[in-house]
């Protein structure tokens, strides 16, 4: 691990769900008054409404919307949030989650959070209010409000596809900083010394790109040119991205794309221009999607085992939902570079 990598993740302290009783105590009112504020606010004075809502916000309390319905037992429902369902980056995880949870008697529902925190916060409020038996999150970068909601929910939570020293509950760790560093070293060892990055503008892609640049500089290379493109990135962005790199006047011989779709676009554009891949331009992608191995030339890509993430997340959620702690609350998933023709 490079010096710039984040500290190793550690298991967090046990959490407890914030209750109506705690909200009532913080607001200095009865639990019945809190219930009225939530269900029939027109029956409560404006001053009391303000006081109770302030306590709710301060504690991160989300009302249980199922409490008055037919909820006589656990929901046997697990929610997963992914930034996008476009492409197939998370397909392996979703398939494994569905199959593994189904075998344990759970149903999976999928939410698309996008790449902005306000959208994730809105989804979290809606999800937590319906009290699923577990929640699987893509990434560890949440807003302060979102993190507070999650910590106060008492719901078993597995964060995935990233790493942090302060997980909310359980973590399947993947270091994007280590990925960026490994790809830069790989291209350097392949003799590519004029490197560049085409990166999505989401946080995890930026981590990979930033680490890539730092590592190239540490290796004594010129600072790589980096172009950030709107996520989720596409094949068309890869084609235009290569043209944009060429317009900078830099003579680039190795490109790291933070998605396989962009890498495929770069290769398509390079071939259209008559550039030899990897002779004149080596290309590496991220995600190791199904098409990466079957393209011509096939795409060298960073492989993260999404199926392993899904199966392990299902195991951890089921254990916590049954009142058990998994053997390890933090599990390192890691990655590997699948070497193919493009680099």
| 60-174+307-335 belongs to CATH 3.90.226.10 | no
Structure tokens, 4: 């710039």
**Ramachandran area for residue 277 (φ above 0: left; ψ -120 to 50: alpha; else beta):** beta
Tokens 């760790």 sit on residue: 173
Give the list of residues 6+ apart from residue 179 with CB closer than 8 angstroms, or none.
Answer: 208, 211, 286, 302, 335
Q: Is the pLDDT of residue 14 over 60?
A: no
What's the chain's average pLDDT? 91
Q: Is the pLDDT of residue 2 over 80?
A: no
- At the fourth CATH level, the homologous superfamily of domain 176-303 is Response regulator (3.40.50.2300)
Q: How far apart are CA 209 and CA 179, in angstroms?
A: 9
Asked whether the domain spanning 176-303 has the same topology as the one spanning 60-174+307-335, the reply is yes
Q: How far apart are CA 295 and CA 234, in angstroms?
A: 16
Q: What is the pLDDT of residue 325?
A: 84
Contact 196, 250 (CB under 8 A): yes
What are the pLDDT digits (tens) for 277-330?
Answer: 999 999 999 999 999 999 999 999 999 999 999 999 999 999 998 888 888 999
pTM of the model: 0.82
Domain boundaries, the chain: 60-174+307-335, 176-303
Strands 195-200 and 225-229: parallel
Contact 174, 330 (CB under 8 A): no
Residue 201: C-alpha distances to residues 56, 207, 228, 230, 233 (Å): 34, 10, 5, 5, 9
Closest CA to 171 of 5, 332, 8, 1: 332
Q: Is the pLDDT of residue 7 over 70?
A: no
What are the pLDDT digits (tens) for 216-254?
Answer: 999 999 999 999 999 999 999 999 999 999 999 999 999
Structure tokens, 34: 């809190």
**Ramachandran area for residue 40 (φ above 0: left; ψ -120 to 50: alpha; else beta):** beta
Closest CA to 185 of 238, 210, 221, 227: 221
pLDDT category at 73 given cuts 50, 70, 90 is low
Share of the chain above pLDDT 90, in %: 78
């Amino acid at each position: 691990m490079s010096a710039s990598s984040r500290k190793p993740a550690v298991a967090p302290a046990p959490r407890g769900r914030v209750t109506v009783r705690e909200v009532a105590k913080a607001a200095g009112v009865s639990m019945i008054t809190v219930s009225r504020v939530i269900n029939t606010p027109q029956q409560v004075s404006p001053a009391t409404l303000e006081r109770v809502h302030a306590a709710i916000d301060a504690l991160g309390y989300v009302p249980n919307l199922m409490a008055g319905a037919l909820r006589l037992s656990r929901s046997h429902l697990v929610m997963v949030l992914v930034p996008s369902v476009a492409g197939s980056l998370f397909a392996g995880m979703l398939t494994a989650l569905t199959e593994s949870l189904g075998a344990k008697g759970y149903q999976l529902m999928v939410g698309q959070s996008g790449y902005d925190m306000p959208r994730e916060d809105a989804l979290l409020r809606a999800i937590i209010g319906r009290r699923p038996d577990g929640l699987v999150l893509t990434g560890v970068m949440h807003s302060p409000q979102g993190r507070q909601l999650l910590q106060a929910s008492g719901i078993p939570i597995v964060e995935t596809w990233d790493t942090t020293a302060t997980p909310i509950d359980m973590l399947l760790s993947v270091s994007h900083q280590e990925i960026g560093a490994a790809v830069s070293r790989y291209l350097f060892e392949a003799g590519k010394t004029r490197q560049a990055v085409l990166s999505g503008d989401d946080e995890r892609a930026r981590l990979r790109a930033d680490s890539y640049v730092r590592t190239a500089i540490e290796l004594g290379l010129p600072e790589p040119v980096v172009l950030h493109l709107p996520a989720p990135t596409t094949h068309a962005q890869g084609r235009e991205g290569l043209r944009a790199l060429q317009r900078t006047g830099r003579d680039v011989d190795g490109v790291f794309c933070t998605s396989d779709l962009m890498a495929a676009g770069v290769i398509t554009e390079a071939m259209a221009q008559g550039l030899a891949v990897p002779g004149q331009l080596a290309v590496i992608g991220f995600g190791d999607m199904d098409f990466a191995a079957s393209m011509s030339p096939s795409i060298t890509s960073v492989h993260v085992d999404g199926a392993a993430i899904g199966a392990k997340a299902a195991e951890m959620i089921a254990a916590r939902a049954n009142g058990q702690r998994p053997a390890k609350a933090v599990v390192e998933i890691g990655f590997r570079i699948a070497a193919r023709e493009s680099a």
